[in-house]
Chains A and B, each alone.
Chain A
Amino acid sequence: MNLTIGELARGFAGGADPGALAASLVDRAAAVNARAHAYITLTREHALATAASLERGRECGPLWGVPYAAKDLFETRGIRTTAGSRVLEDWIPTRDAVVIARLAAAGAILLSKTNQHEFAHGATGINAHFGTAPNPWQPDCLAGGSSSGSAVAVALGLAAFSLGSDTGGSIRVPAALSGIVGLKPTAGRVSTEGMVPYCWSLDHVGILARTVADTGIVLRAIAEPDPTLPALPVADLSMPRPATLRIGVPRDALLDGVAPDILAAFETAMKFLHGEGARILPIDLPDLDQARTVSLLVQMPEALSYHRRYLPTKSDLYGDDVRSGLAFGQFLLAEQYVGAKRMIERYRRELAATLETVDALITPTCAIVAPRIGATTVTIDGREHAVGNALTRFTGLFNMTGNPAISIPAGRDKAGLPIGLQIVGRVYDDAGLLAVAALLERRFGPLDATDRYDRFLGA
């Protein structure tokens, strides 16, 4: 399936059967999963029951009958929710997460619960228990994480969109590596209630989809209905931007250690925007290495605090990587945590001041394209970088500041692997962010994934 949500809606309005489409997609997902490791649970019966319950004739919204996948850390009533861990392998929640309930009310059909890095505790998507989702474009490389299965499901055309979570880049990174769009809305725009937490201070719920417009449609459906917040995206995102659009780009030093093909795509984007009349202005960002330290000082103790309920009895069920991270959180000092939370406030103030001078920022999403599965380091320009750092270097800051941020595809590198560019907007200006993303999407377009499923299945 390579249809946008708008195209699906037109098909359903013309009489197409959402149940038949859902069944077909679940069957295709089942056929590919031994290779894709994208799904932990396929919800075929649930999907068919949902489809059967949909009523035609009343006013149908844009998500009526639209099939989607959800990361397996969103609670689903009566459907097991593992968070990608043996610790919760048999847990069947008794409620739906708020976002799941909102999508049900909009008529969307849940097809599957997708694989992920255990408890969202990493950006590679490696999962020793449920398997590691390979890259849809090159199966010996990573799809990225932690929302790995959610990215693969969309990239292979097995869902119109998917839900993910993002604590340091876990939507934007797999979106970039897998060649799709990934949106982390402004913190607080979308409820995290009913989501297995990683770190309350940094967790965001977001969307993976094929186009920016699709992302906007889903955002309108899942966002908190808060009239005190600025308005959400309008239906037509391709409205011309004023020629006064100001785009901030990081100064050259911040782009050291970025793979050359990604830098080339970044330059192409800047030239395009300049040609459209935008002003490109260099801006300063905080020291990103220091920001990573701040992020970890918040992540590790908060993660440990949640897992304290399981560790005394289920310690041996955790993956070694997750348990190491939790142990890390045990030995940090309370004053360090408080200091990190104060640094976050400082970052927010600094970035808010920067975003008074520009309308949006653009960076590479990741410093590298998809690394090979199993690699722990990558070499760029002769220097070695830890894979996790190279993947999340540009993303983690905006979980702390809460600004909306999106990754869009920007072509592929010489080896054929997707490249992602990140656009960051002002807090609660999700609409403005998506408009800039839609403008840039006109230059690069979605990656052509017409035969991606068949190629992947036959690889």
Chain B
Amino acid sequence: MPVSKRTLESMTTELPTLAWSDADLAELLTPGAGVITGFQEFVEKARALARIDLEDTPLADLFPKPPRRAP
């Protein structure tokens, strides 16, 4: 089921979010400025991503690990 404006409105009133205007929420669902990907399209992509089994892969550190040096 696609994300609805009502869902987003409920989140902003029931959860500790910032206040977002009607226009901000509308832009998420039906992008008109040509800047952001539509939220629904993104949700679908994120859903596909969530199906990947990451096994026990941990979170990435802030910086990559330097190569090991020979002792």
* Residues of A bordering B, CB below 8 Å: 122, 186-188, 200-201, 228-230, 289-290, 293-294, 296-297, 304, 308, 311-312, 315, 320-321, 323-325, 327-328, 330-332, 336, 338-346, 348-349, 376-377, 386, 388, 400-403, 426-428
A400 to B62, CA, bound (A): 9
Give the CA-CA distance A403 to B67 in the complex, in Å. 12
Q: Which residues of B contact A376 (CB under 8 A)?
A: 34
Closest Cβ neighbor of B19 among chain A residues: A312
B58 touching A402 by the CB < 8 A rule?
no
Interface size class of B (residues with CB under 8 A): 35 or more
Measured between C-beta atoms, what is the minimum distance from B63 to chain A in Å? Answer: 3
Name which residue of chain B comes closest to A340, CB basis. Answer: B49
Task: Tell me the nearest residue of chain B to A294, going by C-beta.
Answer: B49
Task: Check B63 against A187 for contact (C-beta < 8 Å).
Answer: yes
Residues of B bordering A, CB below 8 Å? 3, 8, 11-12, 17-21, 24-25, 27-28, 31, 33-37, 39, 42, 45-46, 48-50, 52, 54, 57-60, 62-67
Given known contacts A294-B49, A320-B27, A343-B49, is B67 in contact with A331 (CB within 8 Å)? no
With A290-B45, A328-B28, A342-B59 as given contacts, are A321 and B67 in contact (CB-CB < 8 Å)? no
Measured in the bound complex, the distance between the Cα atoms of B66 and A403 in whole Å is: 11
- Contact indicator B66/A230 (Cβ below 8 Å): yes
Chain B residue nearest to A335 in the complex (CB): B50
Known: A186-B64, A312-B18, A331-B8. A296 touches B42 (CB 8 A): yes
Other A-B contacts than A293-B46, A328-B28, 6 sampled, CB-CB below 8 A, are: A229-B66, A293-B45, A311-B18, A330-B12, A345-B58, A386-B37
Are B49 and A327 in contact (CB-based, < 8 A)? no
List chain A residues, Cβ under 8 A from B63.
Answer: 186-188, 402
Main secondary structure of the interface of B (DSSP, over half): loop
Tell me how far the C-beta of B58 lies from the nearest C-beta in chain A, rounded to whole angstroms. Answer: 6
B58/A320 in contact, CB under 8 A: no
Q: What distance in Å separates the Cβ of B45 from its nearest Cβ neighbour in chain A?
A: 4
| Distance of A342 Cα from B39 Cα, bound (Å) | 22
Whether the pair A342, B18 counts as a contact (CB closer than 8 A) is no
Would you give 15 A-B contacts (Cβ < 8 Å), ordered by A? A188-B63, A201-B60, A201-B62, A294-B49, A312-B18, A324-B24, A324-B33, A331-B11, A336-B49, A336-B50, A338-B59, A344-B59, A376-B34, A427-B64, A427-B67
Decide: B62 and A188 in contact? CB cutoff 8 A: yes
In the complex, which residues of chain A have a beta carbon less than 8 angstroms from the beta carbon of B25? 327
In angstroms, Cα B59 to Cα A336, docked, is 12
* Distance of A298 Cα from B23 Cα, bound (Å): 24
The 7 closest A-B pairs by CB, nearest first: A188-B63, A376-B34, A402-B64, A321-B35, A344-B60, A345-B60, A341-B59
Minimal beta-carbon separation of A195 from chain B (angstroms):
14
Q: Is the CB of A325 within 8 A of B35?
A: yes
Please report the C-alpha to C-alpha distance between residue A214 and residue B37 in the assembled complex, in whole angstroms: 38
Smallest beta-carbon distance B71→chain A, Å: 14
Q: Which residue of A lies closest to B21 (CB)?
A: A315
Residues of chain A contacted by B27 (CB below 8 angstroms): 320, 324, 327
A327-B60 contact in complex given A293-B42, A321-B36, C-beta closer than 8 Å: no
The reply to whether A428 and B66 form a contact with Cβ atoms under 8 Å apart is yes
A339/B54 in contact, CB under 8 A:
yes
Chain A residues, Cβ within 8 Å of B11: 330-331
A228 to B67, CA, bound (A): 10
A401–B64 contact, CB under 8 A? Answer: yes
Contact across chains for A342 and B17 when beta carbons are under 8 A apart: no
A315 to B23, CA, bound (A): 12
**Nearest A residue (CB) for B11:** A331
Inter-subunit contact B49/A427 (CB<8 Å): no
Nearest opposing residue in chain B for A321, CB measure: B35
Docked Cα-Cα span, A290 to B27, in Å, equals 23
Minimum Cβ distance to chain B for residue A267 (Å): 31
Contact A308 B54 (CB under 8 A): no
Asked whether A331 lies within 8 Å of B28 as measured between CB atoms, the reply is yes
B42 & A290 in contact (Cβ 8 Å cutoff): no
B21, B36, B45, B60: the one within 8 Å of A348 (CB) = B60
Q: Which listed residue (B36, B39, B59, B66) contacts A345, Cβ 8 A?
A: B59
Return A231 CB to nearest CB of chain B, in Å.
12
| Distance to closest chain A CB from B56 (angstroms) | 9
Contact B60 A341 (CB under 8 A): yes
